[in-house]
Amino acid sequence: MEMRLRRLGQTDYLAAWEAMRAFTRARASDTPDELWLTEHPPVFTLGVAGRPEHILRDVGIPVLRTDRGGQVTYHGPGQLILYLLLDLRRRHLKVAEMVQGMEAAIIRMLGDAGLPTQRRAGAPGVYLGAEGNGAKIAALGLKVSRGCTYHGLSLNVDMDLAPFAAIHPCGYPGLAVTSTRAQGLAFDVAEAGERLARQLIREFSGKGAPHA
């Protein structure tokens, strides 16, 4: 089942969000699924049910409320953003299965690079350690419209982590965050994107390679 990979470079968050919504509105039953690789300039985003009190102070970074799930997170240069525009019905996937698959792909990708990570019960995302009891390294948030997903995941690669101190990351007070660079992995955002895209293709289609 075809899945196209689009390498967008750095994009404005609002422009990328509107492009995802437009793509999803225009989809037909035979529209190929797509993965979008990008980075964003600094921005805090709140999910649909995101609580403003999880933003602790104004540090001069814009705050946007979006239509994804989840609470507040930070996006900035050096963080991989990977948007998944998938037709759940065509792939016979439930949302919970997709979330688990996204987590599994991240865990495999980091494990192949020598970094053990795991899920954490009741807290979507990926965390350091074989038991998932360490700092958070990847966050997830999806929107489903007409049986199709958009938004996706963020993986901290080689970025300034300081803005996370101005929020309760993902709604959890005191949650520690880290990055692949801080954990000694040398790849940049582009390489991380290619590695993770391959794992997501494997997870959700089981065969083939992304089309450029």
- Known catalytic residues are 170
Residue 120 corresponds to which tokens in the numbers above?
């954490």
Residue 141 corresponds to which tokens in the numbers above?
């948030």
Hey, which residues does 152 pair with through a beta bridge? 83, 141
Residue 194 corresponds to which tokens in the numbers above?
């290619």
Q: Where are the beta strands (DSSP E) in the chain?
A: 3-10, 33-39, 43-46, 63-65, 72-75, 79-85, 117-118, 126-128, 136-145, 148-156
Residues 67, 50 contacting (CB under 8 angstroms): no
> CB under 8 Å to 66, separation ≥6 — which residues?
17, 45, 46, 47, 48, 141, 151
- Whole-number Cα distances in Å, 99 to 85, 105, 155: 13, 10, 14
Cβ atoms < 10 Å from Cβ of 161: 19
